[in-house]
Amino acid sequence: MRAKICGIRSEADLRTAIRAGADAVGFICGVTHFSEDALEEEQARRLSSLTPPFVDRILVTHLVKPESIARLADSIRADTIQIHGLVTQDTVRRVRQLARGRRIIKAVHVTGADAVEAACETAADCDAVLLDSRTTNRLGGTGLTHDWTISAAIVRALADLGRPVILAGGLTPANVTAAIGAVAPYAVDVNSGVETPTGDKDAARCTAFAAAAHRVPTPFELPVRQR
């Protein structure tokens, strides 16, 4: 199973994530809600340029204008765009048109059972759906888990579409194995759960998180198309 370490905000964070075996790293840039890990565009561009091959560089943004999202992805040379803001389906479709072949991940906040319908609706216009927790002030990085039974229902609902689901929200090295067992996602995503009290990425926690994910075979399968 693949593991993403998000909220990379320094060269030290990036080195820690890479050494831990992260498959992807997230750069939070262009925010409308609070995030301690938000980067200025130039910072995100520099860290992206230092990321080695075969590690996916993911732009995580709250921006809501498709042109602004696409321009920022171009600027920092992201491989994947994670639309984490409160946007319409028309916006997601337009970002895909402007994305120059980049993969699109759309965040769905699991705040109730209506998240199943929201995930199914957005799945047609993106390459993966990311399930996260949220609060009034935060769209991510909450340190809070959500109802994994709803997340598991979303995984089942999207399986026939061949749309992978990434699980985020309050994950840590201590609970990620249980989360994977409960939800059966394609990948897991962590930020605050592998940080020191000062907000830096902790080497031991990052390594433990990635190792726990990598021990689990991914349950995701491409759908069988009828001839």
* Residues known to be catalytic: 6, 132
DSSP secondary structure of the chain: -EEEE----SHHHHHHHHHHT-SEEEEEBS-SS--TT-B-HHHHHHHHHHSPTTSEEEEEE----HHHHHHHHHHHT-SEEEE-S---HHHHHHHHHHSTT-EEEEEEE-SSTHHHHHHHHHHTTSSEEEEE---SS-SS-------HHHHHHHHHHHHTTT--EEE-SS--TTTHHHHHHHH--SEEEESGGGB-TTSPBPHHHHHHHHHHHHTS-----PPPPP-
